[in-house]
Structure 1
Amino acid sequence: MPGLTIGDTIPDLELETTHGKIRIHDYVGDGYAIIFSHPGDFTPVCTTELGKMAAYAPEFEKRGVKLLGLSCDGVHSHKEWIKDIEAYTPGSHVTYPIAADPNRNVIKQLNMVDPDEKDSSGNQMPSRALHIVGPDKKVKLSFLYPSSTGRNMDEVVRVVDSLQKAAKHKVATPANWKPGEKVVISPSVSTEEAKRIFPQGFEVADLPSKKDYLRFTNV
Structure 2
Amino acid sequence: MSRALLINDVAPDFEAETQLGPIKFSEYAKDSWVILFSHPRDFTPVCTTELARAAQLQEEFARRGVKMLALSCDDVESHNSWVQDVGAYGKTEVKYPIIADPERKIAKLYNMLPAADPGRDNMPFTVRSVFIIDSSRRIRAMVTYPAPIGRNFDELLRVVDALQTSDRLHCATPVDWKPGSRVIVPSNVPDALVQKHFADGLEVVDLPSKKSYLRYGSTSPS
TM tier, smaller: over 0.9
Structure 2 gap segments, 5+ residues each: none
Which residue is equivalent to 2:33? 32
Which residue is equivalent to 1:52? 53
Q: Shift of the alpha carbon at 1:16? A: 0.8
Q: Distance in 1 between matches of 2:115 and 2:56?
A: 30
Aligned length: 218
Please give the per-residue CA displacement for 1:3-23, whole angstroms capped at 9, x wherever unaligned.
112111111101111111111
Matches within 5 A, 1:64-75: 64-75=65-76
Q: Distance in 2 between matches of 1:196 and 1:34?
A: 31
Q: Shift of the alpha carbon at 1:129? A: 0.3
Matched, 1:181 2:214: no
TM-score, normalised on structure 1?
Answer: 0.95
Cα distance change on mapping 1:117 and 1:2 into 2, 3 Å: same
Cα distance change on mapping 1:205 and 1:15 into 2, 3 Å: same
Q: Shift of the alpha carbon at 1:200? A: 2.4
Letter in 2 for 1:127: V
Secondary structure, aligned partner of 2:211: coil
Which residue is equivalent to 1:211? 211
Which residue is equivalent to 2:151? 151
Q: Distance in 2 between matches of 1:31 and 1:200?
A: 32
Q: Distance in 2 between matches of 1:193 and 1:78?
A: 48
Residues 48 and 89, structure 1, Cα contact 8 Å, conserved in 2: yes
Matched, 1:113 2:151: no
Please give the per-residue CA displacement for 1:169-188, whole angstroms capped at 9, x wherever unaligned.
11011000011100001232
Please give the per-residue CA displacement for 1:121-179, whole angstroms capped at 9, x wherever unaligned.
11121110000000110100000000111001110110000010111111011000011
The runs of 4+ residues in structure 1 deviating greater than 4 Å are 190-193
Matched, 1:172 2:172: yes
Q: Distance in 2 between matches of 1:100 and 1:120?
A: 16
Give me the CA root mean square deviation. Answer: 1.4
Q: Distance in 1 between matches of 2:35 and 2:193?
A: 34
Structure 1 gap segments, 5+ residues each: none
Residues 28 and 133, structure 1, Cα contact 8 Å, conserved in 2: no
Letter in 2 for 1:6: I
Q: How many percent identity over aligned positions?
A: 43
Q: Shift of the alpha carbon at 1:103? A: 1.1
TM-score, normalised on structure 2?
Answer: 0.94
Letter in 1 for 2:157: V
Higher percent of residues as strand:
1
